[in-house]
Each structure stands twice: as structure tokens, then as C-alpha cells.
Amino acid sequence: MKALHLVCEPPRAERAVLVGHGARDRDRLAHSLDELSLLADTAGARVLGRIAQRRGPIHPATFIGRGKLEELKTEVEEWDADLVIFDDDLSPAQVRNLEKALGRKVVDRSELILDIFAKRARTRESRLQVELAQLEYSLPRLTGLWKHLERQAGGIGTRGPGETQLETDRRIVRERIARLKQSLERVERERETQRRRRRRELRAALIGYTNAGKSTLFNGLTRSRVQVEDRLFATLDATTRQMVSRDRKVALVTDTVGFIRKLPHHLVASFHSTLAETVEANLLLHVVDAADPDFRHRMGVVEAVMEEILPAPRPTTLVFNKSDRIREDLAAGLRAEFSGCFVVSARTGEGLAQLREFVWDQASGRPWSRAS
């Protein structure tokens, strides 16, 4: 009986303390830490509290200043935390110094996001992409892990003469990275063949911040059933479906991974094959959660990521979603401020008919845009 009890008991969630640093903008720091808290929750941690350093420069050795570090140490011990999560990226040396000073595991924002992606990746393609990003992230962080073994140069087996354990590790990681890249290139070639077949049709891609409602809108537009969740990064793969009008006009719509502020650079690079669907689209629909008080900043984040992945700027149509959660005067203000935008509710269906018409209108000038 006892064994059964042990098996059934859920694993204890890791208890985490969040740390932010932001000298200038108090609201921005608060929003960023709210989001970090959601990310930590998505990764399966329990957030006990947060600490922010509002003044002073970034400390090269420990990121936060000595006084703040003392305060953090006291809190971590009082709260009995297992884990400290920093809202910014830390250098490998900073992580080492902080872990030594705090006696707890320390992770940064990139590592947390990578962890969530690893947990959520379901398809072969997204698994390959996440593993590649994780290895690229960890490569410079292997330094020192094997310091104690470095004297044993010239080991047996795979190690070459004079090679240290650290070098062996790096070599293994680099080889794995090369193999992953090859596999991803194969996937990309397959996708490219599919895309070439679809080149005549209008391709619209839904882009936007994570949790903006892209998948819900995709389902509404194409009458599909991709997964929708009130969680960050519910979608990691690109899905494409046809949208056919009553008079047989056809457009292809793609739903894809969402963006977030401080998205790890390695992830953007390794999600190349998924994002290719977006890069190659003729029409970009930028889905914005209009009910989010921070939506303007989030729009800027999405635009910055698009700039990173698109070879040249591309006209984009703004779709303000979740209109059921905003007041009519805000909706009117958005229509006035962003000409040509759509204000819709993917949940109630409000505004979707006009948005469909717009997409089909864009499609109708194309020679093979009609379903046979």
C-alpha cells in the first residue's frame, strides 16, 4: 500500500523566487515580472515571491548589487525556495557566482523559456528545433563543469591524446548540433516542396504575441480544431489549412508559434523551419490581444522579432482580438488610430466575417485562387 501511495503522490512543484532589474520604468518591470511569473507557472514551478532592484548598474559578477544579493539570500532561506529565476539573461559566470552565493539553483529567462518549449514540443520538427536551441544555449555554459577532470588529459576511448573532458564534452555537443542541423535541413526541404505546390494560392499567416488568440482565430477562420489554451506557448508548430468561400475562393491560413519579449535568440534561429511558413506568406495578420493593458509594448516586441526573421519589411494587417473584453470606445479608438485594422472576437465570432472577406479579396486577384 505504501509503495502505491508513493507512486500516486504528485511530485512537489519547485518553489521559485523571481528577480528583476529595471532602473527606469516601474510599470515595465512589473509587467515583465508578471509575465515571468506566468512563464514559471507554465514550467511547473510555484512562485513564492519576487524581488526587484530598481537602482544601480548591473553588477558584472552577480548581476544584482551586493546589498540586493544579501536581501535575496535572506528571502530565499526564509521562503525555503529551491530555485531563483532571473528575468534577464545571465552570463555563465554570473549563474555560477549566484548559485554559490545563494546555495540554490539559478536559471535565467532564456533557460526558462527553453524549458517550456522542451516540455511542450510534440512533433519531431519542434523537438529537433528545441534541442538545437538548448544545445546552442548550453555550449558556452559547459565551461568549468569538468574543471576537476581537466588534469586527466589523454583519457581512454573517445578522448584524443591531450584532450580534456571539457573539450570532449564540447565536441560531443558540437557534433550533435551539426546532426540536428542536418535533420532540420531535411525537414525544411520537405516543407519547401509542399510550399512550392501551394505557391499559387494566397497564403496568410497569423503572427502575434503568445496568448493573443491566434489559434482561436485560426479555428474560427478555417473551422479547424487546433489546440487553444490560456497558457503561454500553447502552439509550437505551424499548421496550415484552407479557407474556402461560398463562391469557391481559396486562401491558405497558417497558425504558428507566438512571440514574447526577450525571446531567446537561439530559439528564433532554430525555429527557422516553422517560421518559414510565416516568412513566405503573402499576407501577415498580426493578432493583438486588445484587452491586454500592455498591448502596445507587445506589438513592438512582435514587430522587432519579425524584423529579425523577415528579409525585408512586409505590409501587415492588424487584427485586434478579444473585442468581447474591451469597451466600445476603446474599439472605436483602435479603429481610428490604426487605419485598415480589424477589431474582432475569435471567441464570439464578432468581426470574423469581414476579416474572411478581406483575406478572400486579397486572394481573388490570384490566377489559381479558386477551388475546383
Q: Which of 19, 204, 212, 359 binds ligand GTP (CB under 6 A)?
A: 212
213 contributes a contact to ligand GTP by CB under 6 A: yes
The residue number with the shortest CB distance to ligand GTP is: 258
Q: Which of 110, 165, 211, 274 binds ligand GTP (CB under 6 A)?
A: 211
In angstroms, the Cα distances linking 255 to 62, 118, 276, 281 are: 40, 19, 12, 11
Please check if 212 is assigned to a binding site: yes
Buried b (16+ CB within 10 A) or exposed e, 330-343: ebeebeeeeeebbb
User: Choosing among Mg ion, ligand GTP, none, which partner's interface includes residue 33 (Cβ < 5 to 8 Å by kind)?
Assistant: none
> What residues have CB less than 8 Å from 82, skipping those under 6 apart?
14, 15, 16, 104, 105
- The minimum distance between CB 356 and ligand GTP, in angstroms, equals 15
Buried b (16+ CB within 10 A) or exposed e, 265-300: ebbbebbbbbbbbbeebbbbbbbbbbbbebbebbbe
> What residues have CB less than 8 Å from 93, skipping those under 6 apart?
61
234 contributes a contact to Mg ion by CB under 5 A: yes
Q: Between 110 and 211, whose beta carbon lies closer to ligand GTP?
A: 211
Please check if 333 is assigned to a binding site: no
- The minimum distance between CB 230 and ligand GTP, in angstroms, equals 3
SS3 104: coil
Buried b (16+ CB within 10 A) or exposed e, 137-176: bbeeebeeebeeeeeeeeeeeebeeeebbbbbbbeeeeee
Binding window for ligand GTP (CB under 6 A); candidates: 1-9, 122-130, 181-189, 226-234: 226-234
User: Choosing among Mg ion, ligand GTP, none, which partner's interface includes residue 325 (Cβ < 5 to 8 Å by kind)?
Assistant: ligand GTP
Contact positions with ligand GTP (CB under 6 A) in 160-199: none
- The minimum distance between CB 291 and ligand GTP, in angstroms, equals 7
Q: Between 95 and 228, whose beta carbon lies closer to ligand GTP?
A: 228
Which segments are annotated as binding site? 208-215, 233-237, 255-258, 321-324, 345-347
List the binding residues for GTP: 208-215, 233-237, 255-258, 321-324, 345-347
